[in-house]
Structure 1
Amino acid sequence: MKITNTFLSAILILSLTHCQLKNDTMKYANLDVQGHRGARGLLPENTVPAFIKAVELGVTTLELDLAVTKNHELLVSHDPFMSHKFSTSPDGSPIEKEDELNHNIYQMTYEEIKAYDVGSRFEKQFPNQEKMAIHKPLLKEVIDAVNKYIKDKNLPPVRYNIEIKCDPAGDSLYHPLPAAYAQLVYDFIVEEMDTTQLNIQSFDFRILQYFHENYPEIKLAALVENTLPIEDNIANLGFTPEIYSCYYHLLDSEKVSWLQSQGIQVIPWTVNETEDIQRVLDWGVDGIISDYPNRVLELISN
């Protein structure tokens, strides 16, 4: 059979197309897609349904925040109080902004906390968020619910990015002192979780320094929202973290490359719009924290 140049050209084009598709697919194979507070754009933040939704979508990591109850239980909550943005009092009235600090989680038992609804009110920042009557869960509740869902659905394990919310102004008022807080979290994760499948993150470098000094085996992420040079933030931390996690507007391709040259993973937050997601992907980040992990997953699979 005579093989024409046209036939050979067609074969070459098909081969190159196949290789390109394969390369595009593999390009994001190791991207860490993190559901911010579960999947806040889709379901009420830091609630069990939001975390289950994120797992259902196919995230690799669940990002969540911690607060501490009166009985020193670890509660999943972004704020150490009931936020006026979406919280409803046990009597059915919405929390007012000027009163939210008085609803101090550190001064409440979990039974008291469960009486607050944090999922029924409309939140204009997330107009398509599904509303439901729901309470803030304990960390143990989240872990148990996610583990059960993964087992029932025969899904791969998911990682956890656990933020310890801590601030000098809140010491002993809205949360324990840093050392006690960090120790409380450590005692929980070694008892209830696979410590190789999680990292601790915090804006409060005192928390990270405690873990680094006492439990260096725990992977750490430095959260950053200031405009200081990256080198200054790392110097202030006092050691090189495994992850540098900053507001995505503070990054560019050169900064990402420099951090990675230092052996530091770059995982920016909170990247929600498709064009911004594509932009940080083009920078070569190691992961993305998003309120809409579905958008990240759709983009990298196209």
Structure 2
Amino acid sequence: MLFSGVEVHGHRGARGLRPENTLPGFAHALELGVDAIELDVGLTSDGAVVVCHDQVLSPVTLADTVPARPGDPSFPYVGKAIRELTLAQLRTVDAGVRRPGDAFTATQRPLPGTGIPTLAEACGLLGPAGVRLSVELKTDPGWPDALVALFTDAVAGVLASAGLAARSRLLAFDWRVLAEARERHPGLGRTALVERKTLVPGTRWLAGLPPDDPVGAALAAGATALSPEHVLAVPSLVDDAHALALPVAVWTVNEPEDMSRFIKYGVDAIVTDYPDRLRRVMAEHGLPLPPAVT
């Protein structure tokens, strides 16, 4: 799945402006104009695919309200793993207000009462908008292979049911997801995420592949694109990826001077918490902008 020019990818929707990984956040990113929405998913104990960044519900972005049923022994839910909770329990959690003092509270508009959506609900919003979906599966090397396969199948099934497989990419730091998707869901794009901590000697993140050549390893793992942490996205990495026909989507870039630098490096997409800032920088460079969707 090819990129076209420099793309605007809204990180968790538009995390700097609206609550992350929420339907209102996605809607705001669409209103600004993005090529793709990046979002994170987890798998509940009863098999639902939900949109949430952390495997363990974080008090930074989430707050308990009421238990799903009176006397629920699992309540409160914040601080517990998504894999241990049901969809009904997650439905009670408020995702609309960040913890005071967090870095994004100065720019993010709170929306109290906003819930955690399912991936199917996100597809219902994003499908008609025509944007692409970059869906990051939140696993880690501690997950058993069978559960990684189950999760990958569940996500692929939701995207297929929504008719969005051709417009979607699966993203993962745990490259077993990429290998699983290549084998069982070859129609989906597959983006290899890398950051400094996943490229250390003896790493377990890369599905057994060596970390000294992340571009070659990503291709061997089944990636169709590479998404490096911004500090890793040096010109030589971009050139090496392009030599193997791998588009490069750099994350997470929020400062205009950095956006301009990566445009000059020739990256194919920039993942940002502030799509509005990136659009202004791209306009200054004379680059085409994705249309706003209202």
TM-score by length of 2: 0.81
CA distance in 1: counterparts of 2:188 and 2:39, whole angstroms: 17
CA distance in 2: counterparts of 1:189 and 1:29, whole angstroms: 22
CA deviation digits over 1:193-226, x for unaligned, max 9? 3211111110001111111122222211000013
CA distance in 1: counterparts of 2:134 and 2:243, whole angstroms: 23
Contact residue 83 and residue 100 of structure 1 kept, 8 A: no
What's the secondary structure of 1:50's corresponding residue? helix
Q: Given residue 138 of structure 1, which amino acid in structure 2 is its aligned partner? A: T
Question: Does residue 1:129 correspond to 2:104, yes or no?
Answer: no
2:182 counterpart (194, 202, 212): 212
Q: Unpaired segments of 5 or more residues in structure 2? A: 68-75, 201-210, 285-294
1:118 counterpart (87, 95, 98): 95
CA distance in 2: counterparts of 1:274 and 1:236, whole angstroms: 29
CA distance in 1: counterparts of 2:214 and 2:79, whole angstroms: 36
1:159 matched to which residue of 2?
A: 132
Contact residue 215 and residue 226 of structure 2 kept, 8 A: no
1:64 matched to which residue of 2?
A: 39
CA distance in 2: counterparts of 1:54 and 1:43, whole angstroms: 9
Contact residue 201 and residue 220 of structure 1 kept, 8 A: yes
Q: Given residue 218 of structure 1, which amino acid in structure 2 is its aligned partner? A: L
- Is the deviation greater in 183-192 or in 265-274? 183-192
CA distance in 2: counterparts of 1:123 and 1:88, whole angstroms: 15
2:59 matched to which residue of 1?
A: 84
CA distance in 1: counterparts of 2:250 and 2:166, whole angstroms: 21
Instruction: Quote the offset at 1:147 in angstroms.
Output: 3.9
Instruction: Quote the offset at 1:240 in angstroms.
Output: 5.2
What's the secondary structure of 1:163's corresponding residue? strand
Question: Does residue 1:248 correspond to 2:204, yes or no?
Answer: no
Instruction: Quote the offset at 1:170 in angstroms.
Output: 4.4
Residues 1:58 and 1:88: Cα distance change in structure 2 (over 3 Å): same
1:96 matched to which residue of 2?
A: none
CA distance in 2: counterparts of 1:255 and 1:211, whole angstroms: 24
What's the secondary structure of 2:30's corresponding residue? helix
Q: Number of paired residues?
A: 259
Q: Given residue 246 of structure 1, which amino acid in structure 2 is its aligned partner? A: P
1:283 matched to which residue of 2?
A: 265
Name whichever structure is richer in helix by fraction.
1
Superposition pairs for residues 27-46 of structure 1, below 5 Å? 30-46=5-21
Contact residue 85 and residue 123 of structure 1 kept, 8 A: no
CA distance in 2: counterparts of 1:233 and 1:258, whole angstroms: 7
Q: CA RMSD in A?
A: 2.4
Residues 1:206 and 1:240: Cα distance change in structure 2 (over 3 Å): closer
- Is the deviation greater in 79-88 or in 130-139? 79-88
Contact residue 205 and residue 237 of structure 1 kept, 8 A: no
Q: Given residue 136 of structure 1, which amino acid in structure 2 is its aligned partner? A: I
Runs of 4+ residues over 6 Å off in structure 1:
none
Q: Over alpha carbons, which structure has the higher Rg? A: 1
Question: Does residue 1:109 correspond to 2:86, yes or no?
Answer: yes
CA distance in 2: counterparts of 1:208 and 1:171, whole angstroms: 15
Contact residue 152 and residue 180 of structure 2 kept, 8 A: yes
Q: Given residue 102 of structure 2, which amino acid in structure 1 is its aligned partner? A: K
% identical aligned pairs = 31
TM-score by length of 1: 0.79
Residues 1:269 and 1:236: Cα distance change in structure 2 (over 3 Å): closer
Q: Unpaired segments of 5 or more residues in structure 1? A: 1-27, 93-98, 151-156
2:170 matched to which residue of 1?
A: 200
Instruction: Quote the offset at 1:165 in angstroms.
Output: 0.7
CA distance in 1: counterparts of 2:60 and 2:19, whole angstroms: 11
CA distance in 2: counterparts of 1:271 and 1:103, whole angstroms: 30
Question: Does residue 1:184 correspond to 2:154, yes or no?
Answer: yes
Residues 1:182 and 1:261: Cα distance change in structure 2 (over 3 Å): same
